[in-house]
Structure 1
Amino acid sequence: MECYNPVPPMPDTGGTSTGSSALSSPCSNNIVKTNLRSQELDLRDCLLNGAMNNFDYLPNNNVCDNENAPMDPEASCESEECVSGDRTHNLKELDSSLSQSEDTNNSSATESSQEPQTTSERIDTEEEVDNLSQSDDVYVPEVHNNGNLNLKKTRKKKISSGPGRGRPAKALVTMYHSQISGDKNAIKIRIKKSNMGHIQPLAPNKKKAGRRKKHKAYDTDNSDYEKKPKRSRTSATTDNDVTSTQNDEPLEQSVWGNASKIPEKVLVKIFDGTVAHDGALPTLVRLCKVCKLWRDISVKPSLWKKADLNYVKEKNRTDLRLHWLILNRLTECEDISMGEWKVRDIQAVLEAICEHCTKLRGLNLSGWKGLNADNLKYLTTEAKSLERLDLSSINSTSALNAQPLVTLSQTMNTRLTHLVLAHNKIAGFMQIISALAAHCPNLQLLDISNIKTFAHNTALLHVEKLQTGCPKMRVLRITNSQIWLAPVALSEQVASPGFPNLEELSLAGLEEDQTTTSRSMDDEGIERLLKTSTKLRLLDVRGCSKLTDSGLVRGVPAWDLEHLFLSACYITRLQNSGLEMIIQKWSHSLLEVDLAWSTATTSLDAAVMALAEKGPESKLRNLNLCGSSVSLEPIKAVLTKCPNLHSINLQSCRALPRGIKRLYTGSAVDELRKSLSDKKTEGNEAEESKSNATSPKDD
């Protein structure tokens, strides 16, 4: 019927008020009619039962004539008299008359009153009625699918006088069934009856995020009261911080975060100098979290000139994230490193890089197993500014063919300055070296470390041809590779210009592998490689068993060597060798020395003492003596006379006393220096006291 149309649920602000629209609706007159009808039903029950308050109720609120029925409202009665008899017939007639009189007074009614439901038909819906109320008898109107109105009488649930547990008792609530669906499990709408004289504005209903708490079956009212959200630790901490800021610190922004006091150009220049060496990541990400001004400056593509994307967490290394970075951050980037990224569509990524990163000069694609010849051809052709390329660890199962790398050398030509082919299995190695020598005169770095050949045989390196074609070579790495120097005529060796700009040469290899460069490198090979390399700064000959002390002293023309790695060499294991003479040649410039696993005690002690001869002028910072037979006195001399020493490795040194055989770095070096000096002082005092005790006393 129209007067019982469903009304939207309205939250309770204090238990006494609802919206003004609900009070002014047509249903407000019907509520008065409902109260009048309730009084008539009370009178009807008095006439039928003889007294007002002498009723017994069943769980379905039907009247029971059985005098022996239990007084507990939750108890059940199975007597047939509860559902039949003259009383039920009279109730039907009275309900029918009331419905007819109501329909005649209602001008908007469209259907005549029909016979109400019987008592047995109303049992199912009675279980869904709320038991909490403020009066003893509560009348609940029902509208069924056929449009009939039914009033059900319930008894208020008894509440204990003590301080009970659980939720508090709720006020009188009138429930209306939704006319959208006639199902008993349909949506139920509750409307609070309020006092018209105390209308208050509605408070917003705040919903907490997360999983909702499941309520009990009898609790269907979510608008009667509202729980206060729990205060999290974060909010409490924030409030405390705000309070302390208001009390102790000014609310104004710092000078460094105020654009009116610090020009944006100044911050851009400062940030540019900060990320010039280490790159944009993670520095710019951290600067973004300082304030809004710093964030606006940090996201400028002009600062993202060098970016190592390996800083990104592995779970976020997706094609979508990579495309977003290319479009929003790397448009002006000059050096991108994204090794170990598991890219699915390599061609799409390379197209995005070539299209948007027009200033790109260096690209690291190490670990991209799916990179093929077509990808390399597209990259070298479309990336017009590309100069540095890292292709290490790109072969998956089969060996790399020489033709794509030969094409790369021909396409990039004079643009190519850095090429890394390390950790690959390559077929046709000599063809690649010939192509580089013929087409890449500006090549400065060539890394062919850990190269394996297709037939597991040694590949030949024509070093004189490479010296002639690439005179600007600065870094040459042949560490642990199956590469030997190709034999050439003496006249060709003399005519070769060498590597005059070479600064780093690495020839290290494993002792057990007989096919590596270190096993074949001798004094003649060192002289062929370093004949004109006066600018050499780093020399790594670990594992070269055929090198002698005279080959290193005479074959290396550089006089300012800074990094020398000699562990596992034949020189370090030969007694009375010229190891001391080698160290003396570069003791004034050496920053790092590796003499690990040296077993020649006499030669080793002399070499370590040679490092300490320079005293305060010594630049030595790192000294590796792991597994060697060095004595304690040379260690004390180095610690005392080398003030710049930052790291010393004494692990597994057999000749040293227990307690000091470990790696010392930073402040630990100072502690070792102090402890050894204290022991020396104590030892001298003990010797003096002993000598005084044994000397004859004067009479």
Structure 2
Amino acid sequence: MPRKPERGILGYKKDPKNQILFSFNVRTGDEWPSDDSDDSDYVPDDGLYCVSDGQAMKHSVNAETKKKQLLIKNRKRKKNGSTATKYNETSASKKSKCTSQTESIVAEQHDNVPPLPPEIWLKIFGFVVDRIGALPFLCRAAKVCHMWHELSCHHSLWQKVDLSYGWIKARDQTLLWLCNNRLSQCRSINLTSWKNVTSSAIKQLAEKCPLLESVNLSYCKKLSSEAVTMLVDSCPHLAEIDVSFTSPDAVSPMCLGHLIGTMNSRLRLLNIAGNHFKAFGTLVTYLMTSCSNLEHLDISNANFSSDFVSLNIEKFQIGCKKLKVIRFANSKFRATIQRQQMEPHGFSDLEQLSLAVSTTTTTGSNVGLGIDDNFISRLLLTSTQLRLLDLRGCGNVTCEGLLHLPITNLQQLYISQSPIAKSNCYSDFEPMIQKWRHSLIELDLSWNSYPAEILHAALKALAIGCIKSPLESINLAGTSVKMKSVKYILQNCPSLNSINLTSCRGLPRGIKRDFSGKQFLQLQRDHKT
């Protein structure tokens, strides 16, 4: 039986051929024991060592042989004692000289390279904040050293603050402390989902941060009209405000009327989505006549006291001609009848238009009744720069109407659950896809009843052409697409990285799912030829 190895103050003696002093995986490495309180003095033994991983230990040599080896070693030490002492002294002096010389060189080099001044660090911090935001970077940097703590408190770094990701507790005390200590020069703040923040805290924000230009109060359920009014009155540079999904009092006719009347031409962004409105038609008229520099308007998922809100499209285009983003998704808008011929104005700068209708709600079929070819053609009369068009669920839109739009470089087209593939529109479906094949990056054709042959012709026209298709994502879920059409897309769209084939009845088993990332690459390899 092998003898149990001796333990010393550093634990078991290690195998000289397999020593591990540090390991990231502490369960598999040969680590130093954690508790050596019961170890005796360690005596080196060349004939005895432990092998890691539970391997067998070497047998110890005989006691007599061991004693003879020790006697021989002691005699040699006595004979060579003087020589060894002189040699050790010489080597020690040489080592000390080398060490002192190295330390002096390092010290000289350190003296020649001065530390960065705080002004440079502040500039670096500014670049980081512009890239990734003030939080949580500044909170983490403040824990590094005293200088970084002072720099992270500099007010110039807190000009754009996003508090919607849960970095800190969403309560009044937190916002008040920030207003008093960090946000004196703040120009943009995002308080999305601060459901418990009260109007008193918003009033303090308005008083302490007069330079505010953009405020996001989305989902602040306790917001009052008094707080919104004070925010508008106390911040003369305020140009962007988001009060979507807030309380009815915060979007009352009187409050919104005061907001539009005070901000008027400096208002660039207005998001009032997800709220319930009374007498909204009057507010729309006021908006048209006052906000000439409005660029972003979101009234999605709105509930009106009337069945539909009439929209005079031509007057809308004249009053808000700089609009770039319009979102009326799932809201009841209807175009007024054009009684007299007016000079065409259009939205020449428009880039995004969302008129989607949710077909899952009970009122979804009624919401989209006002969205038809006439509404879209009048709205997009001069919108040649449009990049995004969302018509999901719009039941009165046809392929012919889309084909005649003046849009030249559409990049994102969403026509999911849109019954535009009627028997009288099949001939226009392929030309419509062909029109934008050179620019389409994302296409959603899901849950439509296109015949397999019509869909195959459209996808083939999308994939094959003189210029390589820039398509990156396509959604064909719930359609009658065949495998040959899928192969055309996979083989002829080099930029494609996502395809949704969920519930496609014409595909074999194992293919009916959403492919992206590694799964998409595997699908592409399997059907490369």
Quote the Cα distance in structure 2 between the aligned partners of 1:596 and 1:292.
Answer: 57
State how 1:40-119 maps to structure 2 within 5 Å.
none
Deviations 1:521-567 (CA, angstroms, capped at 9, x unpaired) = 1111111100011111100011111111111011x212011111011
Residue among 360, 363, 370 paired with 1:520? 370
State which of 581, 596, 599 in structure 1 corresponds to 2:446: 596
TM-score, structure 1 length as denominator? 0.56
Give yes or no for contact 1:482–1:515 (8 Å, CA) kept in 2. no
The counterpart of 2:488, out of the listed 632, 637, 641, is 637
Q: Which residue of the partner structure matches residue 100 of structure 1?
A: none
Taking a change above 3 Å as real, the CA distance of residues 650 and 268 of structure 1, as seen in their structure-2 partners, is: farther
Matched with 1:360 is 212
- Report the Cα offset of residue 506 of structure 1: 0.5
Does the alignment pair 1:415 with 2:266? Answer: yes
Deviation at 1:639, TM superposition (A): 1.5
CA shift for structure 1 position 405 = 0.9
Structure 1 stretch 422-431 or stretch 613-622: which is displaced more? 613-622
2:320 matches 1:467: no
Residue among 315, 327, 335 paired with 1:485 = 335
Deviation at 1:382, TM superposition (A): 1.0
Match of 2:354 among 461, 482, 506: 506
Q: Distance in 2 between matches of 1:614 and 1:294?
A: 57
The structure-2 alpha-carbon separation of the partners of 1:514 and 1:317, relative to structure 1 and needing over 3 Å to count, comes to: closer
Task: Tell me by how many angstroms 1:321 deviates.
Answer: 0.9
What is the Cα deviation at residue 653 of structure 1? 1.3
Q: Which amino acid aligns with 2:323?
A: M
The one-letter code of the counterpart of 1:448 is I
Residue 287 of structure 2: aligned partner:
436
* One-letter code aligned to 2:136: P
Q: 1:274 to 1:620 in 2, by over 3 A?
A: farther
Q: CA 1:535 to 1:319, structure 2 compared with 1: closer, same or farther past 3 Å?
A: same
Q: 1:617 is paired with a residue of what secondary structure?
A: coil
Cα deviation, 1:209-256, whole Å, max 9, x if unaligned, reads xxxxxxxxxxxxxxxxxxxxx99xxxxxxxxxxxxxxxxxx9x9xx9x
Mapped to 1, the partners of 2:493 and 2:144 lie a distance apart of 42
Are the aligned partners of 1:429 and 1:459 in contact in 2 as well (CA < 8 Å)? yes
Aligned to 1:567: 416
Q: Does 1:380 align with 2:232?
A: yes
Partner Cα distance (1:572, 1:272) in 2: 53
SS of match in other structure, 2:331: coil
The answer to whether structure 1 residue 310 and structure 2 residue 161 are counterparts is no
3-state SS of paired residue (1:484)? strand
Question: Where do 5+ consecutive residues of structure 2 fail to align?
Answer: 1-34, 37-102
* Separation in 1, partners of 2:164, 2:139: 14
SS in 2 for 1:476: strand
Aligned partner of 2:343 in structure 1 is 495
Gaps of 5+ in 1: 1-229, 232-249, 681-699
Tell me if the contact between 2:332 and 2:368 (Cα under 8 Å) persists in the aligned partners. Answer: no
Q: CA 1:372–1:652 in structure 2 vs 1: closer, same or farther (change >3 Å)?
A: same
Q: Match of 2:49? A: none
SS in 2 for 1:570: coil
Q: Which residue in the other structure is 1:406 paired with?
A: 257
Does the CA contact (< 8 Å) of 2:198 and 2:223 recur in 1? no
Deviations along 1:585-606, one digit per CA (max 9) or x if unpaired, are 1111111110111221222222
Q: C-alpha deviations, 1:97-125, integer Å up to 9, x for none? A: xxxxxxxxxxxxxxxxxxxxxxxxxxxxx
Given that residues 583 and 611 in structure 1 are in contact (C-alpha distance below 8 angstroms), is that contact kept between their aligned partners in structure 2?
yes
Counterpart Cα distance in 2 of 1:504 and 1:523: 17
| Partner in structure 2 of residue 390 of structure 1 | 242
The answer to whether the aligner puts 1:282 opposite 2:136 as a matched pair is: yes
Residue of structure 1 in register with 2:126 after alignment: 272
Instruction: Tell me how far apart the structure 1 counterparts of residues 230 and 462 of structure 2 sit (CA, whole Å).
Output: 53
Taking a change above 3 Å as real, the CA distance of residues 661 and 300 of structure 1, as seen in their structure-2 partners, is farther
Paired position in structure 2 for 1:337: 190
Q: Kindly tell me: are residues 644 and 292 of structure 1, through their superposed partners in 2, closer, same or farther at Cα, counting changes over 3 Å? A: farther
CA displacement, residues 622-679 of structure 1 (integer Å, 9 cap, x when unaligned): 11111111111121122122221121111111111111222222232211111223xx
C-alpha distance 650-410 of structure 1, shift in aligned 2 (>3 A):
same
Write out the 4+ residue segments of structure 1 that deviate beyond 6 Å after TM superposition: none
**Is structure 2 residue 504 aligned with structure 1 residue 653?**
yes
Aligned equivalents of 1:292, 1:618: Cα separation in 2: 55
Q: How does 1:185-334 map to 2 (within 5 A)?
A: 260-262=114-116, 264-276=118-130, 279-288=133-142, 294-312=148-166, 316-334=169-187
Distance across 1 between alignment mates of 2:427 and 2:363? 25
Change (3 A) 1:543 1:308: same
**CA RMSD, aligned part only?**
2.8
Distance 1:460 1:328, change over 3 A: same
Report the Cα offset of residue 332 of structure 1: 2.0
In structure 2, the partner of 1:580 is 430
| Superposition deviation, residue 422 in structure 1 | 0.3
1:325 is displaced (CA, Å) by: 1.9
Does structure 1 conserve the Cα–Cα contact (< 8 Å) formed by 2:228 and 2:250?
no
Does the C-alpha gap of structure 1 residues 439 and 577 become closer, same or farther in structure 2, counting only changes over 3 Å? same
1:168-212 deviations in Å (ceiling 9; x for gaps): xxxxxxxxxxxxxxxxxxxxxxxxxxxxxxxxxxxxxxxxxxxxx
* d(CA) in 2 for partners of 1:515, 1:630: 26
Equivalent residues of 1:468, 1:496 under 8 A apart: no
Using a 3 Å threshold, how does the CA distance of structure 1 residues 344 and 569 change in structure 2: closer, same or farther? closer
% identity of equivalent residues: 38
Structure 1 pair 267–634 and aligned structure 2 pair: CA distance change class (3 A): farther
Q: Deviations over 1:444-463 (max 9, x none)?
A: 111110111124x1121222
Task: Give the conservation status (yes or no) of the 8 Å contact 2:301–2:328.
Answer: yes
Residue matched to 2:31 = none
Between the aligned partners of 1:399 and 1:308, the Cα distance in structure 2 is: 22
Shift in alpha-carbon separation, 1:518–1:265, aligned structure 2, 3 A: farther
> C-alpha deviations, 1:53-82, integer Å up to 9, x for none?
xxxxxxxxxxxxxxxxxxxxxxxxxxxxxx
Displacement after TM superposition at 1:387 (Å):
0.5
Aligned mates of 2:274, 2:231 — CA distance in 1: 21
Alignment of 1:662-677 (within 5 A): 662-677=513-528
Assess, with a 3 A threshold, how the Cα gap between structure 1 residues 345 and 452 changes in structure 2: closer, same or farther.
closer
TM-score w.r.t. the length of structure 2 is 0.73
Instruction: Flag the 1:535–1:616 CA change in 2: closer, same or farther, 3 A.
Output: closer
Pick closer, same or farther for the CA change 1:646–1:615 going to 2, 3 Å: farther
How far apart in 2 are the matches of 1:540 and 1:390?
A: 22
Deviates more, 1:523-532 or 1:654-663: 654-663
1:379 match: secondary structure: helix
Distance in 2 between residues matched to 1:262 and 1:668, nearest whole Å: 48
Distance in 2, Cα, partners of 1:572 & 1:294: 62
Three-state SS of the structure 2 residue aligned to 1:432 is: helix
Structure 1: how far apart are the matches of 2:291 and 2:320? 7
Distance 1:312 1:514, change over 3 A: closer
Q: Secondary structure at the match of 1:324?
A: helix
Contact 1:361–1:386 (CA under 8 A) maintained in structure 2: yes
Residue 369 of structure 1 corresponds to which residue in structure 2? 221
